[in-house]
Amino acid sequence: MPRMSKKMKKELAFFLNDQERRAYNDLCRKCQRACKQSFRAVILDCPIIFPNGPKRKAKEATD
């Protein structure tokens, strides 16, 4: 196995769960895109989940 830089080790540690296995967010688990996010992350923007972009509350309040 090749050596990893410190940056790569820190990035990998963000994805590892208690059993030292890579774990993804529930919404990203079956997605085929390469933008998979960690189970620790909160998904704010995803083209599959939010196809029209995030909803803006300020625009709705002015209507």
Which residue range forms the structural domain that includes residue 61? 1-63
36 vs 55: CA distance, rounded Å: 22
Domain count for the chain, please give it.
1
**Mean pLDDT of successive 10-residue stretches along the chain, which has 63 residues:** 83 87 82 80 72 59 53
pLDDT given at position 51: 67
Residue 63: its pLDDT value, please? 52
pLDDT in the model for residue 1: 54
What lies within 8 Å, CB to CB, of 48 at 6+ separation is 31, 33
Q: How high is the pLDDT of residue 30? A: 77
pLDDT at 58: 54
Q: What is the pTM of this model?
A: 0.54
